[in-house]
Amino acid sequence: MHPITKILILGGTIFARNRGVSAIVNGCVNSVRKNMANPEVALIHTYVESFHPIKTTNLENIRIVMDDKRKLIPIFKNAFIRTFLATVWRLLSYLHIDAELLLRDKVLNEYKRTDVVINLSYGDMFAYKNDFYSKFLFFILAHQCMLAILLKKPLFFFPQSIGPFFGKFSPFLASFILNRCNIIMVRDEISRDLVKRKTVAPIQLVPDMSFILEPAPDSRVSEIFSQENVEIKRPLVGFALRDNLYKHLDVISEVVDYLSTKMNASVVFIPHFSSSDVNYFFDPRFIAKALLKKVKVKRQSTVIEGEYTTEELRGLIGKCDLFVGAYMHANMSALSMHVPTIALSYSHKTEGIMNMVGLGDFVLSVDDLDAATLIKKIEKAYHDRVRIKENLNETIPVLQKKTMQAGELVKKSIESDV
């Protein structure tokens, strides 16, 4: 087999409204480029993961294959047609019949020319839950993985949270795909235990790819704070809000008032998601402004209004003395920058990742959120901030080294099959 030169990435986009998705793609590309000689990187951009019209990171010669049908019927239609064509190609290949004409579609052609397929699953969407969005994304990811399998391309799952799978058919389909992977990398023990029950493929516990995202330079961070009129007074507490906190605005506002009056802290709300004009209700800026209407002491709180890259957001978060996040990848930015972090959890992935850095005690379920408990965790984190930072100073470089080796696992796996 010739050296790996062409890499195809699924389940991620650098145009994501959710900056966490951009972060894992960035980390994936970094790892691949570090461990492989001048690879060509292509990324299939699928509209289902929230296209954002503003480029959110440097493309750096990544070839983007736009598959951005914006209506359900064309998306399903294309998926079924491509799966059918790939199946026919596979059957004809057994008969040694040249059927390359079947792969003229731009997406199928990209699979044909690639050496390795890497699936990121947007971090945690290789799962089949009860909501429509989860089912829809699982269908998209499953069919994309099936194309790799049918076209005989090595398939790797990069670090992600996997499952759960409800229903009867989705567990079968998930097992079928997972059993045909070269390596499955998961980022938490819960996912590892679930996958062990479904596959005999090699499983590796590898930290999230976003850990190796580089922050923007300090000069750029200072420029942004100046543009946003953020006056840095210590302690500076950062928040990353999301729409599942609407029902807890009274709780969060009480916590913000506590920070302002009892700790004399400045508070900055850092958005890790960008909504469309139609769905502005989900935008963290809108949520922060709704929250501030309930806050009694407003003068010490600032909302970041602009659109910024994942690297810039990581730089902003890194200037905080304490961070409270409902977006896991915002929390990862804080952890990567050695900032004591309280994670507001909505998924098993949160606890798994926080345990990985020794901060499992600082996880609080969104469903059980109350002001007294959150304040207690904030007080503990701030009181122990020196110890926590020292711990992160030791653990994060180790995790980053393990994360960077994801590309090496791909290289070794392919070389062992030669």
* 3-state secondary structure (DSSP) of residue 326: coil
Question: Do 274 and 409 fall within a single domain?
Answer: no
Count of domains for the chain: 2
Q: Are residue 169 and residue 233 in the same domain, yes or no?
A: no
* Domain presence at residue 255: yes
For residue 68, the domain's CATH number is 3.40.50.2000
Q: How confident is the model at residue 278 (pLDDT cuts 50, 70, 90)?
A: very low
Same domain? 164 vs 261: no
Q: Which residues lie closer than 8 Å to 175 by C-beta, 6 or more apart?
A: 198, 199
Model pTM score: 0.91
Task: Note whether 253 and 168 are same-domain residues.
Answer: no
Q: Span 270-289, mean pLDDT?
A: 81
The verdict on 202 and 334 lying in the same domain is: no
DSSP class per residue in 390-415: HHHHHHHHHHHHHHHTHHHHHHHHHH
Q: Is residue 393 part of a domain?
A: no
Is there a domain that residue 238 lies in?
yes
Tens digits of per-residue pLDDT, 130-184? Answer: 888 889 889 999 999 999 999 999 999 999 999 899 988 999 999 999 999 999 9
Instruction: Answer whether residue 126 is part of any domain.
Output: yes
**Over the chain, what is the mean pLDDT?**
90
Same domain, 147 and 296: no
Count CB neighbours of 109 within 10 A.
13
Q: Is 307 inside any structural domain?
A: yes
* Whether 374 and 405 share a structural domain: no
**Residue 388 is assigned to a structural domain of this protein:** no
Peptide bond into 74 cis (omega under 30): no
Residue 272 lies in a domain: yes
The DSSP 8-state label assigned to residue 240 in this structure reads E
Residues 295 and 315 in one domain: yes
Residue 391 covered by a domain: no
Residues 125 and 12 in one domain: yes
How confident is the model over 349-383, as pLDDT tens digits? 788 789 889 999 999 998 889 999 999 999 999 99
Specify whether the CB–CB gap between 259 and 301 falls below 8 A: no
Residue 248 and residue 143 share a domain? no
Domain holding 271, by residue range, is 218-339+341-383
- Report the half-sphere exposure of 336 (CA within 13 A, side-chain side): 27
Q: Are 124 and 109 in contact (CB under 8 A)?
A: no
The CA distance from 411 to 213, in Å, is 21
Residues 206 and 227 in one domain: no
- Supply angle C-alpha 352, 354, 359, rounded to 5: 135
Same domain, yes or no: 79 and 47: yes
Reported as a single tens digit per residue, the pLDDT across 142-156 is 999 999 999 999 999
